[in-house]
């Protein structure tokens, strides 16, 4: 498994403003939480804005919440539309319903009826910091947990534009991590880990994982994971231990990694590692499933990739400055290292950032013959006559044909015969293919905007596309003042 950082995300970070103005004051913008899917990334900030990054086009949109509070958690689910949930320090939850782009074969009438981005705001449910959010697969249910131990089920009805929220469990302790599989919800707090199973529309059954209580309060994580081809509950314990339990909460096995952590493992290469001394971890924290077969854990700002089937640590990352937030999607890992630093780790490069040269990478790979050491020819000193002839031929004043005649000032030397076993012909063919490729790229027609032009650049004013976020139950001020046809797509939203 070649897990590494393929390219820095400097271009993405530079598109996020350094500061924003609130009244008369300017506030520095920091990245606080992150999540990703195949097409988009969502970056939460400390100013109440979710930056919606399109990984294919490279554009960034702003999703403004109702109140400019510090966002603590953001989660994406891709269904018929993209659903983005963001929780803040005040206990408010903002849900954005973002429509997907229509396929190119859709008729023009449907393209003109594009829906705007809609926002739901859930208030007066949580009174503490939102610590974790979990979507159901269909995007109709959102589970939210806070620092006071309250877990709430938010059910969204997209037809009538309503959201119903009700409390399902109150653990009285800080919710560290949640995980959902089918009708069972895992909730790990600083005190214990429980499995919540829905019995009917209003009642939930709570089962504790394991019979022994924790001796100390700690931020232990939990996750559903396929262990030996069976669905199991994995939860961390002190001393680099993992509990393996069934779906009823009965612990079947304890996995101990205390000695395995000390064995030197492959360090995940990153482009800007920290120069500070490596901190000694004490216990595992949150757990994530990576590539459906590995388990990823965070411990004291370090990351470990675990292989439970073979009981070994596959890779580790110990040169991070800090881990503010982490998101895992299939073979990708996104880490918020600092308020203005993002790290993408993956086993494959980002396909959305591919260029035309990627189609011909086989020409630039090192072959077996290129890797061999070839003995160079001897450097012999030229006599004066041969030096004069070579100098004259270089200047184009005289040339000798195959019979020794001078022809049009160009030297025509007899061809040198090479044996089939000579490796120089292979290098020559490869070199000619590269030259043909570069000539093809030079002949391509590029947009005038990316070509270099001397002189001062004039800024062109582009018309911004108005796509306001429509608050459910309210009408934007822009649409109240403009009764024209541009407001028709938004006016069809029913309360």
pLDDT in tens, 26-62: 999 999 999 999 999 999 999 999 999 999 999 999 9
According to the model, what pLDDT value does residue 373 have?
38
Residue 492 has pLDDT above 50, yes or no: no
Displacement of CA 247 from its chain's centroid (Å): 31
Residue 430 has pLDDT above 50, yes or no: yes
* Residue 188 token pair: 């790990």
Domain annotation covers residue 13: yes
Residue 372 has pLDDT above 90, yes or no: no
pLDDT in tens, 181-204: 988 999 999 999 999 998 887 889
From 5-14, 162-171, 279-288, the region with the lowest mean pLDDT = 279-288
| Structural domain boundaries, residue 30 | 4-103+113-348
Domain annotation covers residue 428: no
Tell me if 15 sits within 8 A of 30, measured CB to CB. no
Residues 24/29/32/37 CA torsion (nearest 10 deg):
120
Domain annotation covers residue 480: no
According to the model, what pLDDT value does residue 101 have?
82
Domain count, the chain: 1
Displacement of CA 265 from its chain's centroid (Å): 25
Domain annotation covers residue 398: no
Domain annotation covers residue 286: yes
pTM, entire model: 0.72
Domain annotation covers residue 117: yes
Query: Bridge-partner residues for 181, per DSSP?
Result: 184
From 186-190, 331-335, 488-492, the region with the lowest mean pLDDT = 488-492
The 3 state secondary structure assigned to 195-259 is: EEEECCCCCEEEEECCCCCCCCCCCCCEEEEEECCEEEEEEEECCCEEEEECCCCCEEEEEECCC
Radius of gyration of the chain (CA): 31
C-alpha count within 13 angstroms, C-beta hemisphere, residue 250: 2
pLDDT in tens, 117-158: 999 999 999 999 999 999 999 999 999 999 999 999 999 998
From 108-112, 205-209, 384-388, the region with the lowest mean pLDDT = 384-388
Closest CA to 217 of 304, 126, 169, 149: 149
Domain annotation covers residue 493: no
According to the model, what pLDDT value does residue 402 have?
43
**CATH number of the domain bearing residue 195:** 2.130.10.10
* E runs forming strands in 356-488: 469-471
According to the model, what pLDDT value does residue 30 have?
96
The CA distance from 205 to 233, in Å, is 17
Domain annotation covers residue 60: yes
According to the model, what pLDDT value does residue 420 have?
45
Residue 80 neighbours by CB under 8 Å, 6+ apart:
100, 139
pLDDT in tens, 101-119: 877 666 655 555 667 899 9
The CA distance from 490 to 495, in Å, is 12
According to the model, what pLDDT value does residue 262 have?
87
Overall average pLDDT of the 236-263 stretch: 93
According to the model, what pLDDT value does residue 447 have?
64
Residue 436 has pLDDT above 60, yes or no: yes
pLDDT band, residue 351 (cuts 50/70/90): confident
């Amino acid at each position: 498994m070649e897990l590494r950082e393929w390219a820095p995300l400097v271009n993405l970070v530079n598109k996020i403003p350094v500061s924003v103005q609130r009244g008369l004051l300017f506030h520095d913008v920091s990245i606080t939480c992150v999540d990703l899917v195949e097409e988009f990334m969502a970056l939460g900030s400390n100013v109440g804005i979710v930056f919606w990054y399109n990984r294919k086009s490279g554009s960034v949109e702003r999703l403004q919440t109702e109140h400019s509070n510090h966002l603590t958690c953001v989660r994406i689910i891709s269904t018929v539309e993209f659903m983005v949930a963001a929780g803040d320090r005040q206990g408010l939850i903002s849900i954005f319903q973002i429509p997907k782009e229509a396929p190119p074969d859709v008729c023009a009438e449907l393209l003109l009826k594009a829906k705007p981005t809609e926002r739901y705001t859930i208030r007066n449910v949580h009174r503490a910091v939102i610590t974790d959010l979990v979507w159901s697969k269909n995007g109709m249910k959102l589970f939210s947990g806070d620092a006071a131990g309250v877990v709430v089920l938010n059910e969204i009805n997209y037809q009538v534009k309503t959201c119903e929220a009700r409390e399902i469990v109150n653990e009285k302790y800080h919710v560290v991590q949640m995980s959902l599989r089918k009708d069972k919800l895992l909730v790990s707090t600083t005190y214990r880990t429980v499995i919540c199973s829905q019995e009917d529309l209003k009642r939930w059954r709570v089962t504790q994982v394991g019979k022994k209580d924790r001796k100390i309060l700690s931020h232990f994580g939990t996750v559903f994971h396929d262990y030996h081809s069976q669905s199991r509950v994995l939860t961390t314990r002190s001393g680099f231990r993992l509990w393996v339990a069934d779906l009823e909460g009965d612990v079947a096995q304890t996995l101990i990694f205390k000695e395995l952590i000390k064995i030197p493992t492959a360090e995940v290469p990153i482009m800007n590692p920290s120069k500070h001394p490596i901190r000694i971890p004490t216990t595992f924290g949150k757990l994530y499933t990576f590539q459906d077969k590995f388990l990823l854990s965070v411990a004291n700002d370090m990351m470990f990739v675990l292989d439970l089937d073979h009981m070994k640590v596959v890779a580790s990352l110990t040169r991070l400055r800090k881990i503010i937030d982490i998101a895992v999607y299939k073979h990708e890992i996104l880490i918020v290292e600092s308020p203005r630093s993002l790290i993408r780790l993956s086993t494959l490069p980002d396909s959305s950032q591919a260029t035309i040269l990627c189609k011909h990478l086989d020409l630039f790979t090192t072959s077996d013959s290129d890797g061999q050491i070839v003995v160079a020819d001897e450097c012999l000193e030229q006599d004066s006559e041969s030096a004069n002839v070579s100098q004259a031929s270089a200047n184009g004043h005289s040339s000798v044909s195959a019979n020794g005649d001078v022809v049009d000032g160009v030297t025509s030397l007899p061809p040198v015969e090479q044996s089939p076993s000579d490796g120089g012909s292979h290098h020559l063919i490869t070199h000619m293919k590269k030259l043909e490729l570069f000539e093809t790229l030079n002949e391509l027609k590029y947009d005038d905007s990316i070509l270099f032009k001397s002189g001062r650049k004039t800024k062109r004013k582009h018309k911004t596309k108005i796509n306001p976020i429509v608050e459910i139950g309210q009408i934007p001020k822009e649409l109240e003042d403009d009764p024209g046809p541009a407001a028709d797509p938004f006016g069809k939203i029913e309360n």
